[in-house]
Structure 1
Amino acid sequence: MDTTVADTLIGTTIDGRYRITGRVARGGMATVYRATDERLGRTVALKIIHPSQATNVHFVDRFTDEAKTIARLTHPNVVAVYDQGRHQGLPYLVMEFVQGKTLRDLLAQRRKLTAVEALAILEQMLAAIAAAHRAGLVHRDVKPENVLVAEAPSGGSADLVDAVVKVADFGLARAIEASTVDESGQLMATVAYVAPELVQAGQADARTDVYSAGIVLYEMLTGQVPYDGADPVEVAWQHVDNDVPPPSRTVPGLPRALDELVARATKRNPSERPTDAGRLLTEVQAVRDGLGGINLQTAMMPQVPGRPADATTIVPAVPAIDATALVPPVPGGFHQPGAQRPPWARLPEQGGAAPRPTAYGRGAADPRGREGFFSDRRRVTLVSLLAVIVLVVIGSTWWVTSGRYTDAPTLVGLPKANAEAAAKQAGFGVFYADPGQYSPTVPKDSVVSQNPGPGEKVVKGDTLTLILSLGPEVHPVPDVSGQEAAAAKASIEELGLKYKEVKGAYSDTVPEGVVISTNPKVGTELKPGDTVTVTLSKGRAPITVPNLVGLNVNDARAQLQRAGLTALERTKDSNEPADQVLAQTPKAGTGVEKNAEITLDVSKGPPLVTVPDVNNQPCGQAEQTLKGLGLQVQVNNLNPLNPNAGVHQQNPGPNAQVPPGSGAQITCF
């Protein structure tokens, strides 16, 4: 089936600029397309995230932030990132398009590479990874699928020694890592290359990339990875439990130097590996220069007298090389120009081939007049040359094994600034491994450990890897309100805290099984092992409270009794009629349990009016006084012809309390 026909993005123009012309590859997290940047007129690679990942906010934010960081990483062996954006809600990256194949494709075609080719590819890989380590980035997913082998600068030669190697997906593995965990919480990384510390603790630093690069070298030399199995978890734990076997066990005849190089890079203890890719690159270049231009695999066996030549019989080209003794390039006819390091990978101190010593011709005149002079002269020259070679070997061995090393300073316990000053004074650089390490004894931002350790041998001027203390390990109680129980438990236990549920409570707003509250409160700092108690919702209560406001209290009581609820009354002053329900708690429509108490605010009626004493007051004045209090006044004037007649009787009497609007009578004569 033609997959390009079914892919709806083919022919689409992204952001009005990138026109997709074909699909290159599809992975578990994203698909890579070939596209044309119509603004600049160049071919680019466009990597767009799958829709299934777009809903993971953490993944998307991490992907975008780290893409910006990688875009600032400029190196000829790093696949450049040009742009990033979103298309229909899906994040994408625009990267350099490399015309060539992945290292995985090459291994599938050829199964394995020669030692010269493997070291040449590894050097460029490590150069790229070292640039990332200097910028504080860790790749986390070094494998053949992320190594691109472009056409050689000489024009597509099949010789991989001259090919240009580029490493892709720097740092993006951290974003992917958050989305590659199965339901049991196990890391589902590329297990064939995963470092032991990632399996055991889920933590990675520059030494993790060193381990993966060592596995890639092993695969290039042997055509297979050291561990295999049907279960990814089983394969991952083999990295923890076993040492990587020497490549020569699978491919007899490989020099010991290559076995030792693989062993150094793949030590199970990270502190025993090279501290970063730059350190490993130095060792790889030293091994390659020490082995010189000799074919590191095999050479044709010379014909033995009395034995027919067999062109298929091969023996090692040179005696087995001890990894502890590096020798200079072999002079004379043993040097093979085809294995010379290409210009872009040549060490700064590496020069051209040493000039060969000149011998006198066979027929030259003897200055001393003796026929044996030339034979003696050649013998002296040969002995001198051998002596020089021996001195160079001894000097090189001393320099590689002892001369260039010194003791690492003690930086553990020093504050960050003091550690940097001490390292600088001793002539070392520093690299901070991320993340730090919690410590109950070492103050925050002080050095809790270093690699190499105090007093260990280290190359002069090398970089020391430091881990800073995060202080005592405490974690704030996370806000899990509104999360389901399983998600809340995962969030709490991820911080090393214990999870506990208590009997739930009814809620009209929080669905059943969802967190209502925590104890201690959100933000409270706890030590690992402390308990967070979670209250879950039981959902809406079974009985709905009726609306009782405005009813007479007797009617309200009757409704509550029929619903299986209990009335709790409290009276309040009000202008409303007495015994009328003014308010209720909980409000109407709320869900409650059976026999729940419903509080009713009941009116006591309007406040009472105190009747004043109007006796002996003029009749008209008394009438106005009582009306002013809101009473209905009835006047009985027995002497209507006397407007100033006084009040001689009043009802209600003085100081009586009556409701507003009540009637009052006064008698005047």
Structure 2
Amino acid sequence: MDTTVADTLIGTTIDGRYRITGRVARGGMATVYTATDQRLERTVALKIIHPSQATNVHFVDRFTDEAKTIARLTHPNVVAVYDQGRHQGLPYLVMEYVQGHTLRDVLIQRRRLNPNEACAILEQMLAAIAAAHRAGLVHRDVKPENVLVAESPSGGAGNLVDAVVKVADFGLARAIEASSVDESGQLMATVAYVAPELVTDGHADARTDVYSAGIVLYEMLTGRVPFDGDDPVEVAWQHVDHDVPAPSRIVSSVPRSLDDLVARATRRDAGARPTDAGAMLAEVQSVRDDLGAASAETALLRQVPQSRPAPGAADATAMLTAVADRPGSARPTWARLPEQSRSPQTYRRGDTRLSGGGRFDRRRILLSAAIAVMALVVIGSTWWVTLGRYTEAPGLVNMTKAQADLFARQNNFELFYGDGAYSETVPKDTVVSQNPAPDARIVNGGRITLTLSLGPERFRVPDLGGTELAAAKAELEQDGLQVKVGTPQYSDLVAEGAVVSTSPAVGTVLKRGDTVTLVVSKGKAPISVPDLVGKNINDARSQLQALGLNAAERYKDSDQPADTVLAQTPKPGTGAAKDAEVTLDVSKGPPLVTVPDLNNQPCQQAAQTLQGLNLRVRIEGFNQNGFVRQQNPGGNTQVPPQTEVVVACF
């Protein structure tokens, strides 16, 4: 169970009934917890969607429909739904808690299954999917992650033939006639298991699930999927362009009947596959019956009685029996050595049943030799089992993946890569840890599980604008970030109680434990800013003062009359708090013009100069074609545009 990340929901009680005790898994759209139903005193699974999905109306509706969908599928191999509701605005489902592991976990541990185990699991998977098909539903996402393998009723460790299998996530199914593409245009299927028709035309029906079940069978038999790659789109198109290869090409011991079954289930032409999960189930049962008959025949051959040993070999038999009876060395019934029906004969020198002393000596020598040989065999076997076949595990920590792969090939070790681990110090794709540890005992050519570094763990600050505070905090805390609530602000665009902004800004890269400050909206401010543009500054001041607002004035040159309000911030109609400032741009009037010194200039030329400066001219004197002898205002005087300048010409 993954409880390493602090989760605020753990320990809380939902709807006064479901007390969350731990986190099971976190997917792309929802998180699954274990919880105690305090009313019925039982353990349940509680699935709650992520806050980032809360605003997606289509997804919320689909999530809510999951309860109704599964309720229609009353079947022992389908995970049951008990209840549904909302917690802090987030929808949740209460489901049956299955004590066990996903099929993905089983494959990670076992790598692959034998044919009988694979068929046993597939039968129960198909029984559940067939129930959905009878109800007119398509699962659309059949994969090992959605198959739960519960503990065997017989209690046998690793007994997958008797295990109970349940299929989950039928809530992502839709009616057969519905589109197979979600609202964002994304295929609702995992590319490793996607049917060709979903890729080419987005169509899904019961045969789509049959194809995915065939891929799961292939993976159970071989330990790998048939098509893989770094680009999901490329992997999806491989299903369209290529036939699924026979499992026996990977594992030679896979029977021909299972090769044929995989081929029929994964034909690229949907019309050539079994019509639905029920039809495929019948084929699997037929194949499994054949496998069972073959296993029974082999078992009978193994039970053919061995010849009874000679009386003199009793001591050797006793030695082997003692070794076999040690803890951890139990054999199945058909493999046990024959028991002695009577004690070995005791011979004494001079016994009349012997033909002579020499014969007795030879028998004793042969018996001693046989005992010595058997002792050597037992000692050698014991040495090999306990010591000889083991070596020390090599140290692969701090090797790159390429270096570790090369070392394993050169030294005949099998590598398995587990989930990666984030590291602040170890570079990405470098070995962080290994199991067995360096220098620990390992079988020659055995498997070493490596954990590769994912590099430093980093999170981008999401866009939480408009998200309710509780949902925003939950999303950040699930990513391991600390949350601080800053000073609330008024906002004309964001509803009260929702996030206005974040600090650091959206998209900033943070590491686990960093703090994000959320600024929350107080709603629209109570005072509506009036429209003051075009008014005299004195009138604007009075109006703002009457509303409880303050004017901040900035004077600018303008063609508008002096003291006229040219612009304002904030805009008219915007909400403002009491004593808030409204910035006003105020006209200083047109810029002043400097009157030039015109004395002794020709009178007409002086008039043209003044008119070019946007000044009015009045000529006085008895000779308008003479020279300027006087002017008013005088030279170098600053006056407003269109001021009249009087010149006296003589």
Equivalent-residue separation in structure 2 for 1:629 and 1:571 (angstroms): 24
- 3-state secondary structure, aligned to 1:486: helix
Q: How does 1:80-479 map to 2 (within 5 A)?
A: 81-84=195-198, 94-96=208-210, 127-128=220-221, 130-131=223-224, 151=283, 157=289, 160=292, 323-326=328-331, 330=335, 402-438=387-423, 440=425, 442-479=426-463
Equivalent-residue separation in structure 1 for 2:219 and 2:633 (angstroms): 109
Query: Which residue of the other structure, out of 181, 190, 193, is the alignment partner of 1:67?
Result: 190
- 3-state secondary structure, aligned to 1:503: coil
Equivalent-residue separation in structure 1 for 2:564 and 2:337 (angstroms): 117
Query: Match for 1:84: what amino acid?
Result: L
The TM-score with structure 2 as length reference comes to 0.50
- Relative to structure 1, the CA distance from residue 646 to residue 525 in structure 2 (aligned partners, 3 Å threshold; closer, same or farther) is closer
User: Is 1:645 aligned with 2:650?
Assistant: no
Q: How does 1:506-517 map to 2 (within 5 A)?
A: 506-517=490-501
C-alpha displacement of 1:469:
2.4
| Aligned counterpart, 1:564 | 548
Query: Match for 1:629: what amino acid?
Result: L
- Relative to structure 1, the CA distance from residue 99 to residue 324 in structure 2 (aligned partners, 3 Å threshold; closer, same or farther) is same
Any idea what the Cα deviations from partners look like across 1:458-477, whole Å, max 9, x if unmatched? 33323321001234545444
Instruction: Give the CA RMSD over aligned residues.
Output: 5.5
C-alpha displacement of 1:418:
2.7
| Aligned counterpart, 2:139 | 47
Query: Match for 2:192: what amino acid?
Result: T
Equivalent-residue separation in structure 2 for 1:532 and 1:99 (angstroms): 44
Residue pair 2:218, 2:226 contacting (<8 A) in 1 also: no
Equivalent-residue separation in structure 2 for 1:161 and 1:52 (angstroms): 39
| Aligned counterpart, 2:597 | 613
C-alpha displacement of 1:594:
0.8
- 3-state secondary structure, aligned to 1:576: coil
C-alpha displacement of 1:32:
4.4
| Aligned counterpart, 1:483 | 467
- Relative to structure 1, the CA distance from residue 153 to residue 162 in structure 2 (aligned partners, 3 Å threshold; closer, same or farther) is farther
Equivalent-residue separation in structure 2 for 1:292 and 1:398 (angstroms): 27
Equivalent-residue separation in structure 1 for 2:188 and 2:561 (angstroms): 68
Equivalent-residue separation in structure 1 for 2:206 and 2:594 (angstroms): 83
Q: How does 1:575-594 map to 2 (within 5 A)?
A: 575-594=559-578
Query: Match for 2:577: what amino acid?
Result: E
- Relative to structure 1, the CA distance from residue 443 to residue 92 in structure 2 (aligned partners, 3 Å threshold; closer, same or farther) is farther
- 3-state secondary structure, aligned to 2:563: coil
Residue pair 1:544, 1:590 contacting (<8 A) in 2 also: yes
Any idea what the Cα deviations from partners look like across 1:344-401, whole Å, max 9, x if unmatched? xxxxxxxxxxxxxxxxxxxxxxxxxx9xxxxxxxxxx999999999998887776555
Equivalent-residue separation in structure 1 for 2:606 and 2:399 (angstroms): 96
Equivalent-residue separation in structure 1 for 2:137 and 2:374 (angstroms): 51
- Relative to structure 1, the CA distance from residue 86 to residue 622 in structure 2 (aligned partners, 3 Å threshold; closer, same or farther) is same
Residue pair 1:152, 1:162 contacting (<8 A) in 2 also: no
- Relative to structure 1, the CA distance from residue 60 to residue 549 in structure 2 (aligned partners, 3 Å threshold; closer, same or farther) is closer
C-alpha displacement of 1:593:
0.7
Query: Match for 1:660: what amino acid?
Result: P
Query: Which residue of the other structure, out of 593, 604, 608, is the alignment partner of 2:588?
Result: 604
Any idea what the Cα deviations from partners look like across 1:544-601, whole Å, max 9, x if unmatched? 2111111111121122122211111121111111111111122222221111111111
Query: Match for 2:649: what amino acid?
Result: C
Equivalent-residue separation in structure 2 for 1:290 and 1:479 (angstroms): 68
Q: Which runs of 5+ in 2 are unaligned?
A: 1-72, 82-124, 142-168, 175-180, 231-276, 306-323, 340-354, 356-365
- 3-state secondary structure, aligned to 1:69: helix
| Aligned counterpart, 1:544 | 528
Equivalent-residue separation in structure 1 for 2:561 and 2:431 (angstroms): 78
Q: Which runs of 5+ in 1 are unaligned?
A: 1-21, 37-43, 72-80, 103-123, 138-145, 164-287, 296-318, 335-369, 371-380
Equivalent-residue separation in structure 2 for 1:402 and 1:66 (angstroms): 48
The TM-score with structure 1 as length reference comes to 0.49
- 3-state secondary structure, aligned to 2:416: strand
Any idea what the Cα deviations from partners look like across 1:628-654, whole Å, max 9, x if unmatched? 222222223435xxx633333332233
- 3-state secondary structure, aligned to 1:533: strand
Equivalent-residue separation in structure 2 for 1:659 and 1:627 (angstroms): 13
- 3-state secondary structure, aligned to 1:505: coil
